[in-house]
Amino acid sequence: MPNYFSDNTDILYHFEKLNLKDIVNIAEDEYKQAEQFDDAPVNYEDAMENYRKVMEIVGDITGNYIAPRAAKIDEEGAVFENGKVTYAKGTQEALEMLSKAELMGMILPRRFGGLNFPTTIYMMAVELISRAEASLMNIFGLQDIAKTIDKFATEEQREFYLPGFSSGLYTGAMALTEPDAGSDLQAVKLTAYQDENGNWFLRGVKRFITNGNGDVLLVLARTEAGTKDARGLSMLSCMKDDSIIVRRIEHKLGIHGSPTCELQFNDTPAELIGTRRFGLLKYVIYLMNRARVGIGAQSLGISQQAYEEALKYAKAREQFGKPIYNFPVVANMLIDMRVTLESNRTLFYNTCTWLDRKEAYEDLIEKRKSEKLPFNDVNEKFKEAQRMTNFLTPTTKYILSEASNKMTYDSIQIHGGTGYMREFAVERLARDARITNIYEGTSQLQIVAAAGSVINDVLADYINDWEKKEYKGSLKKLKESLMEIRVLFNDALKYVKEKKDTGFQDVAAKDLVELYSYIYTGYLLLDEANDDQRRVFTAKRFILDSLARSRKNAESIKNELYSDILHADTILI
C-alpha cells in the first residue's frame, strides 16, 4: 500500500535535514504548552517525532484514499445547481477523512483545536495532497484564511471562527478579485459600509473566487468612500448566508474539483478584521506570501506525480524489443525531470523555513513588546528573514509553477499518443498544472515582485560566504561554475543599471531573476552534495545546466535582444 510520505526518499531527506528549532521553540512557548495540552511536545525531538507521525498519516490518506478518487473527482467536478454549489462525491469523502484525522487546522493554535504545526510541515502535507488530487489542495490549503484571522483578528473573532476551521466544519475563501480588479487589486470596487450602529455590510461583486461557496469569506472591500487606491481598502470577514448569491461557477480547463465562483454580496453582514485601510497594504500581502508557497507545494505535488507516471510508463512500454526507458533520449528526459524535482524541492523547503522564521520572529517581537522586554536581537533576525522571504516566495512560486507545466508536458511526451488520452492520468495532471503559473499572481507578476530584491543583490553576503567555503573533490569545479554564473549576473545587472531605462529593466527582470535563482539554488544543492554523495548527481546536472542557461540569459540582456520592444506598434500588426 503506497504512502506518499514514507515512500518518497526525497521528501524524507528534506524532513530529516529540517532545522526548525527556533521556530518550534517560539511556537511552543519554550515548550510550556506541554503543561496545558497533552499532545504538545516537551522538546524539539518530541516535536519532530510528532510531525513525522502526522506526516505518515497524511501519506497514507493521500496514497490510499484520495489518489484513487482523483480521476472520478476530475470527471464529476463541482456542480452548480439551483444556486447551490456541491462538491464532487470524492471531494466530500476526502474532506471528511481529513477532518476525522484532525488535519484541517494544522497551523492553528491548540486552544482552538489546531495542531500548532510550522508552515513548513503543513506545506509538506499540501504537497502530498496536491500529488494525490491537485484541486483538493484548493480547499485543504485554505487553512491560510484561518491563519490570517488568527494573526490579525480580535480574540473574540478567533473564538468564533477558528474552532470551526480546525474541526472541518468550516471551509474558507479569499474574496479578493473582481471583474475589473484581477492582478490590480487596488482597483477593487466592492464596498463596505456601516449603519448607524457601526455594523458593517458588504455590497458588490467578486469574481474568480476559489471555493467561493466556503463557509467563511475574507473579503477585500473599499471602506473609505471616494478613494480609488490601496489606502481605501480594508479586510472584512463574513459567514455564508442568503445575502451572498453564487451567480455562477466557472467551467475550467483543470482543477475541476475546486469550484471557482462569481459572488454577489447584497448588504451582507460582515466584521472588520484588523485595522481599516490596511486590507491590501498589510493583510493581503500576508495572505499572498502564504498563497505563493501554497501554489509552490501544489506545483511540486503535480510534478512528483507527473514524474512517477512517466517513469512507470517508460519501464512498462516496449518498442523495438525493449522498454523505452532504455532509450538514452527517454532516460535523459527522466533524469531531467528527477533533477528538476529534487532541485525545486530543495529551494521550496528552504523558502518555507525562511517564511516560518519571519513569522516566528515577528510573533516573538510582539510578545516581547507586550512584556516590555528588549527585542533588538530578534528584530535583526526578523529583518533578515523578511528580506529573504520577499525574494524567495515570488521566485519559488515562479520557478516551481513553470516547472510543473514543463514536467507534465514532458510526461505526456514520454507517454506518446496514449498520454493525450483521458484514460491516462498525465492528461489530467497537465490540465491541473496549467493554472499554477496563473493564479495567486502570474509568473510575470512574480518576476516583478522578486526583481527589486535581485537588483539590490540581497543575497550578496550569503553568496560571498559560499564562495569562501571549501568543497570536496569534484564539487570544487561545480563551485567554479556557480562563480562564473555570478560574474555573468553581475555584468548583466551592471549593464541594466547603466542603461537607466525602466522599460528595459522590466523586460530584463526575468533573465536577472533566473540568473539569481541559479546561484542560490545551486549553492543549496552544493551544500547538500558536500554532505551526501547521493546528492552529487543532482547538483552536477543542475549547476551545469544552469551555467548553459545563464549564458543565454546574460546574452539576451546584453545583445539588445529586447530593443525591438520600442517598435512594438510596428511589429504587432
pLDDT of 297-353, one tens digit each? 999 999 999 999 999 999 999 999 999 999 999 999 999 999 999 999 999 999 999
pLDDT at 481 over 80: yes
Protein fold of 278-456: Butyryl-CoA Dehydrogenase, subunit A; domain 3 (1.20.140)
Query: What was the pLDDT predicted at 566?
Result: 75
Average pLDDT over residues 212-218: 97
Average pLDDT over residues 17-38: 97
Query: What was the pLDDT predicted at 469?
Result: 97
pLDDT of 106-155, one tens digit each? 999 999 999 999 999 999 999 999 999 999 999 999 999 999 999 999 99
Helix (H, G, I), strand (E, B) or coil at 154: coil
| Alpha carbon distance 192, 202 (integer Å) | 5
Q: How far is CA 517 from CA 9, 115, 514, in A?
A: 24, 33, 5
Query: What was the pLDDT predicted at 334?
Result: 98
Average pLDDT over residues 391-413: 98
Instruction: At 84, give phi and psi (nearest 5°).
Output: -120, 140
Average pLDDT over residues 404-421: 97
pLDDT at 36 over 80: yes
Q: What share of the chain is helix, strand, coil (3-state, %, to 5)?
A: 65, 10, 25
Give the CA count within 13 Å in the CB-facing half-sphere of 322: 5
pLDDT of 527-541, one tens digit each? 999 999 999 999 999
| Alpha carbon distance 539, 73 (integer Å) | 38
pLDDT at 199 over 80: yes
| Alpha carbon distance 191, 193 (integer Å) | 6
What pTM was computed for the model? 0.97
Q: Domain 459-571: which CATH class? A: mainly alpha
178, 206 contact by CB (below 8 A): yes
| Alpha carbon distance 238, 219 (integer Å) | 8
Query: What was the pLDDT predicted at 93?
Result: 98
> Which architecture, in CATH terms, is 172-277?
Beta Barrel (2.40)
CA dihedral 234, 240, 245, 251 (to 10 degrees): 90
Strand 172-175 and strand 216-222: the pairing is parallel
**Residues across the chain:** 573
Cell of 151: 494573526
- H or E stretch covering 264: strand 260-273
Rg of the chain over Cα atoms, rounded to whole angstroms, equals: 24
Query: What was the pLDDT predicted at 182?
Result: 87
pLDDT at 183 over 90: no
Average pLDDT over residues 554-562: 90
Query: What was the pLDDT predicted at 18?
Result: 97
Instruction: At 317, give phi and psi (nearest 5°).
Output: -80, 120
Average pLDDT, the chain: 96
Average pLDDT over residues 62-88: 97
Q: Report DSSP state, residue 375.
A: -
Of 261, 236, 208, 331, the C-alpha closest to 87 is 261
pLDDT at 568 over 90: no
**Residues linked to residue 248 through DSSP beta bridges, in sequence order:** 262
Of 538, 403, 532, 554, the C-alpha closest to 478 is 538
Domain spans of the chain, in order of start: 1-170, 172-277, 278-456, 459-571
Give the CA count within 13 Å in the CB-facing half-sphere of 202: 34
Q: List, in order, residues 6 or more apart from 329 with CB less than 8 Å away.
A: none
Of 254, 248, 169, the C-alpha closest to 209 is 248
567 pLDDT band, cuts 50/70/90, is confident
pLDDT of 422-462, one tens digit each? 999 999 999 999 999 999 999 999 999 999 999 999 999 99
CATH of domain 1-170: 1.10.540.10
pLDDT at 563 over 90: no
Of 5, 10, 44, 211, the C-alpha closest to 125 is 5
| Alpha carbon distance 15, 351 (integer Å) | 14
Cell of 181: 480588479
Encode 124-137 in three state secondary structure: HHHHHHHHHCHHHH
| Alpha carbon distance 26, 545 (integer Å) | 40
Of 147, 128, 133, 12, the C-alpha closest to 60 is 128
| Alpha carbon distance 28, 18 (integer Å) | 17
485, 550 contact by CB (below 8 A): yes
| Alpha carbon distance 393, 293 (integer Å) | 6
CA dihedral 414, 419, 420, 421 (to 10 degrees): 160
Cell of 464: 560571498
88, 257 contact by CB (below 8 A): yes
564 pLDDT band, cuts 50/70/90, is confident
